[in-house]
Amino acid sequence: MFIAIAVLSVLLALAFAGAGFPKLSGKKDMAAQLAQLGVSAGLMRVIGGLEILGAVGLVIGLWIEGLGIAAAAGLALLMAGAVLYHVKARDTAKNTSASLVLLVLSVVTIALRLASL
């Protein structure tokens, strides 16, 4: 079970780090995309920082179980918020799907980690 947790955690960490750095650095195209959802530039940077911290927590959580569970839970909540922003803005299913997939994978990570305790 540890191998499945490790692979999923590392893949999620890479995905969240890849999504977080453009937000944290304030990339203009990312800001424009998120502005359509009603996300301010300041909130975009906060979200980016949380995604990066969550990614780090997932990786360190491979050695510290509680941190891995907390990081996955935090990222799941962050993605639930992202899905709500997409729905509220009546965004397309295609644009919403990435957040939804990351939400599901974060929840699966939590479930696997809790099952391995």
Range of the domain at 53: 2-115
- pLDDT tens for 46-87 read 999 999 999 999 999 999 999 999 999 999 999 999 999 999
Q: What does pTM read for this prediction?
A: 0.94
Residue 38: pLDDT band with limits 50, 70, 90: very high
Q: Please, what's the b/e burial string for 49-75 (b: 16 or more CB within 10 A of its CB; e: otherwise)?
A: ebbbebbbbbbebbeeeebbbbbbbbb
Question: What pLDDT was estimated at residue 43?
Answer: 95
Query: In what helix (H) or strand (E) does residue 19 lie, and over which residues does it extend?
Result: helix 2-25
Of the given ranges (18-22, 24-28, 103-107), which has the lowest mean pLDDT?
A: 24-28
**Count of structural domains, the chain:** 1
Question: What pLDDT was estimated at residue 49?
Answer: 97
Mean residue pLDDT of the chain comes to: 96
